[in-house]
Amino acid sequence: MPIGWASDGGERPASPAREPERFTWAERVKAAAQQIIHNLTGLDSPGRDLIPTVWTRWETAIDDRVCQTCAPYAGRAWPAADGPHPPLHPGCRCQRRVAYVTWAVRN
């Protein structure tokens, strides 16, 4: 019998299923992080907010034309709002991409 049909063998649909609650990607990640914190520490954090910090990594074009200005930054990571931001000069081919996210707990 298909899910959602009457269990008495009839052909009428059963009462409509409740619409599942929709969460954004950020809410799901936050919930997962809270669960990990609980699993590791045994502490519940319902009254605490998790604050994400997005870190970005400097990526060069990785070829023989990378300039002396950008080469020292290759592979370094900063919080998204900090550090230098490309382009540093005309013709700069560097970019910053998301590397990882760290979480802090605000009481």
Per-residue model confidence as pLDDT tens digits over 19-69? 667 777 777 777 777 777 777 777 665 556 777 888 999 999 888 888 889
Select the more confidently predicted residue: 88 or 42: 88
Other Cβ atoms less than 10 A from the Cβ of 80: the count is 15
The predicted pLDDT at position 7 comes to 57
Secondary structure class of 65 (helix, strand, coil): coil
The predicted pLDDT at position 39 comes to 77
Which uninterrupted H or E stretch holds 28?
A: helix 25-41
**Measured distance CA(92)–CA(71) in Å, rounded:** 11
Q: Go through 28-52 and write b for each residue having 16 or more CB atoms within 10 A of its CB, e for each that does not.
A: eebeebbeebeeeeeeebeeeeeee
Other Cβ atoms less than 10 A from the Cβ of 58: the count is 21
